Structure formats: structure tokens, C-alpha cells
Amino acid sequence: MDVRLALIGFGNVGKGVASLLHGEGERYRTEYGVRLVLTGVADQGGAAVNLEGLDGFNLLEAKKRHGTVAAARDGVQGLQGAHFLERAAAHVLLEAASTNFEDAEPGWTYVREALALKMDVVLASKGVLVLHYGHLMRIAMDRGARVLFSGTVGAPLPVLELADRVLVGAQISGFEGILNATSNYILSLMADGATYEESVRRAQELGIAETDPTLDVDGWDAAAKAAIVANAVMGAQLSLQDVEREGIRHVTPEMLSHARQEGQTLKLIARARRTAGGVSAQVVAERRPLADVLGRLQGAEMGIVYHTDPLGTVSATVQQVGGIPTALTVLRDVINLARDRGWSSPSQA
Ligand SMILES: NC(=O)c1ccc[n+]([C@@H]2O[C@H](COP(=O)([O-])OP(=O)(O)OC[C@H]3O[C@@H](n4cnc5c(N)ncnc54)[C@H](OP(=O)(O)O)[C@@H]3O)[C@@H](O)[C@H]2O)c1
């Protein structure tokens, strides 16, 4: 069947979604038996809407030339919010706008409006999950809507899928992971002798670190991911403030050199553990053996290790990060949602 999608945000992730649908949409239809139709896209300048499907190439060209999708064919300056969602008449909202950990806007308003319209929601942004997880899930349940967000926790690392699909039946007592690629990249350069400042600069030049790297190097991003995973997978109710947090600013090349002499290294580890009082989570720069599944991750690699009973430790790692892998993870959520909802055609899926 046709699954109509409304997309908020047309930056790295949003453009990646449009580009994948343009280039790979036909293959998804053949392989998964579901036609993904982008009926609406909004950025800060306005929106473009077409119930027959927007042309991804045209959207990308308009954004490049004029800075907004409102300049594309079917574009409307200033169209946003509930009006946009109603006109896009989508089955699923894809939320890929910039976010923050103070009010999670514009995502929170869009997500509530989408749920009020009984749309399912796929999130790339963390803000709503970090600030409003319990509330979000209650509204979704009341509306019979699904909320998926595998792109928020180290995409394309299968953090949530591993827990949801592979560890079914096992008990998860905790997890630890390298969930922030930027800090791992910086620590890897420092392990090779570069200073902290040089390493940050090189990460910025490669587009791996933001101009202001605070969220990554002070552990905020990893802490947000730790809270999201603990809530989703371990039934916790953690907010960002509940996660004990440190970053990597205090780490020096000398510390890494000393660690290496003892067969170890330093990694920014996000973890959660089940305790007598519930679930506790922390982000800490700690020593790991060089041969350890997380200790050996270099550059922008990421990994997750679940501690379970009776399966023991189960882990996954990835090398790829960036806009396209995140966009693909968003579409992975959509395709899995379509399968779960019976929207994909069994003869082709
Ligand atoms: N990049 C990644 O690899 C990655 C990975 C995981 C999660 N994420 C998360 O995914 C989200 C998008 O990331 P990104 O890298 O694509 O960010 P980005 O390149 O900065 O793009 C953000 C987009 O949000 C749009 N936006 C901001 N306010 C809006 C509003 N009120 N209404 C509609 N659109 C609005 C912006 O519009 P304008 O273009 O008009 O300014 C822009 O298109 C972020 O929350 C990010 O944390 C990103």
C-alpha cells in the first residue's frame, strides 16, 4: 500500500530521507511491498505538500538554490504546524528538525499534533524523548499510535532493535556503549598523540564535530542516549538530569599514553544498570582494555553491549555515522512499522 509521510526538517537527515526516497523508493517498493510517498516537507521557511507525492530531486534543488522547500514545486511560504500536518494527510510524521533539551521544540508541538491526528511518529531528534518520554508514550497509547526512534541512539547502530527483537525473552540487567561518535573520534586522535584542541579542530574540519562541540565533549549527547535507551529498553523513567555525567575535556594525551602502556585506553562510556532502587545511568570517561569490544572501537565507530540473563553479553558495533545512515535508519523504522501494521504486501515483503 501507499504509506504517506510528512517530514519536518530538511537538513542533513531530512535531505537524506528525500534523497533515499528519490533514488531507492522503487527498490523499497519491490523488496518490502510498501510504497513510501512523501506528501509533505516543512522547514523554517514553509512547506511543500502534494498528496500524489513530492519530487525529492525538485525539493533538494529548491533547498539548495533558495534555502527553503517552500520554493519547490507545490511549495507554500510560511506553511507550518497543524495546518501543514492536516494538508499532508500522512500516515507517519518523520521528525528531523533541530532540537534542544530545554523545551524540545519544534518537535514536541509537531509530535502532539500528529498524535492528535492519529499519525504514527518516527523521531530522529532526541529532545522530545529526553524531556517528555512518559507523557509521549501515554498519548501514543491513548491514540493507538506507534512511536519509533531508532535513529536517535547512535544510528545506524541497532541499539533498540537488538533489545526489541533479538533479546526477546532474555532479561536485560544493563548495557554499556560508545554512543557518541564525535567524542570517540577525538579520543582516538588523542591516543595517537594529538592534543585535545587539535583533535577537536580536525573533527570539526571533517564535519564530525559541531562548531560548538559542547553537547558531544561534555557528555550531554551520550547522557541523552543513555536515558533514552534505559527508558525504552529497561522500563526506566530517567530524565537527562538523572544521568550522572562527565565528558572528555579533562582527558590528556598523557593519560591515554599511560593507559596504552598497560594495554588499555580511555573511552566515553554510556551505561545503565538495574539496581535495588531502580535503574541508574552514567556517562564516564573510563579505562577499557584495548582488546575489549568497546575499547577497540576507533575513530567514529560506535558500539553497544547488553548484559543479559541467560544470553550473557550481546553486542553490536558500527563504523558508519552521519546524515545518510541516520536517514536510512528513519526509513528502516518506517518500513518496520509498515510491516508491523500489515501495510506491506505479503507477496512482495
Ligand atoms: N545528522 C545526524 O547524523 C543526526 C543523527 C542523529 C540524530 N540527529 C538529529 O536529527 C535532527 C536533524 O538533524 P540534522 O543534522 O538534519 O540537522 P540540521 O541539518 O541542522 O537541520 C535541521 C532542520 O530543522 C529545520 N527546522 C528548525 N526549526 C524548524 C521549524 N520550526 N519547523 C520546521 N523545520 C525546522 C531546519 O530548517 P531550515 O533548513 O529552514 O533552517 C533544518 O532544515 C536533529 O535533532 C539531530 O540532533 C541527527
Ligand 1 centre to CA of 267 (Å) is 28
Tell me the mean pLDDT in the region 140-156.
96
Nearest-atom index, ligand 1, CA of 99: 45
Ligand 1 centre to CA of 95 (Å) is 9
| 345 confidence band (pLDDT: 50, 70, 90) | confident
Residue nearest to atom 30 of ligand 1 (CA): 44
* Structural contact between residues 266 and 287, judged by C-beta atoms closer than 8 angstroms: yes
User: Which bin fits 252, alpha (ψ -120 to 50), beta or left (φ > 0)?
Assistant: beta
Does the pLDDT of residue 348 top 50, yes or no? no
pLDDT in the model for residue 344:
87
Nearest-atom index, ligand 1, CA of 322: 3
Query: Ligand 1 pocket test: which of 7, 10, 13, 110 has the largest number of ligand atoms within 8 Å of its C-beta?
Result: 13
* Structural contact between residues 96 and 302, judged by C-beta atoms closer than 8 angstroms: no
Distance set, CA 42 to CA 3, 62, 121, 175, 306 (Å): 18, 13, 15, 36, 37
Instruction: List the grid coordinates of 217.
Output: 565533549
Model confidence pLDDT, tens digit, residues 219-257: 999 999 999 999 999 999 999 999 999 999 999 999 999
> How far is Cα 33 from Cα 343, in angstroms, rounded to an integer?
8
Model's pTM, two decimal places? 0.96
Contact partners, residue 228, CB within 8 Å, separation at least 6: 126, 129, 130, 133, 149, 152, 153
Matching residue, cell 580511555: 266
Q: Of 22-31, 136-145, 316-325, 337-346, where does mean pLDDT reach its minimum? A: 316-325
Please give the order of strands across the beta sheet that includes 75-77. 75-77, 46-49, 35-43, 2-8, 92-95, 120-123, 147-148
Ligand 1 centre to CA of 329 (Å) is 15
| Three-state DSSP class for residue 6 | strand
Tell me the mean pLDDT in the region 32-60.
97
Helices and strands in the chain, H and E counts: 12, 13
User: Which residues sit with their C-beta closer than 6 Å to ligand 1?
Assistant: 8-14, 42-45, 68, 80, 96-99, 106, 124-125, 151-152, 155, 322-323, 326
Does the pLDDT of residue 147 top 90, yes or no? yes
Ligand 1 centre to CA of 313 (Å) is 35
Model confidence pLDDT, tens digit, residues 225-235: 999 999 999 99
Ligand 1 centre to CA of 311 (Å) is 38
